[in-house]
Structure 1
Amino acid sequence: MGKGLTFKEFAMLKIILHAFVEANKETAVVEVAFASQDKDMISAKMTELEKQFPQDYLAVYDLPLDTDLTQLPHYPSVAIGKEEFE
Structure 2
Amino acid sequence: MIKIIVHAFIENGQVGVVEVLYASPDELSLSKKMAELATQFPNDYLAIYDLPLDTDLNKLDHYPSVEIGKEEF
Same fold (TM over 0.5): yes
Q: Percent sequence identity over matched residues?
A: 63
**In structure 1, what is the Cα distance between the partners aligned to 2:57 and 2:24?**
17
1:76 to 41, 52, 64: 64
Q: TM-score, normalised by structure 2?
A: 0.86
Query: Which residue is 1:54 aligned to?
Result: 42
**Cα displacement (A) at 1:77:** 2.6
Q: TM-score, normalised by structure 1?
A: 0.74
Runs of 4 or more above 2 Å deviation: 77-81
Give the greater-gyration-radius structure (CA): 1
* Structure 2 unaligned regions, length at least 5: none
Aligned length: 70
**In structure 1, what is the Cα distance between the partners aligned to 2:67 and 2:42?**
23
State the structure with bigger RCO (CA 8 A, min sep 6), 1 or 2: 2
Superposed CA RMSD: 1.7
* Structure 1 unaligned regions, length at least 5: 1-11
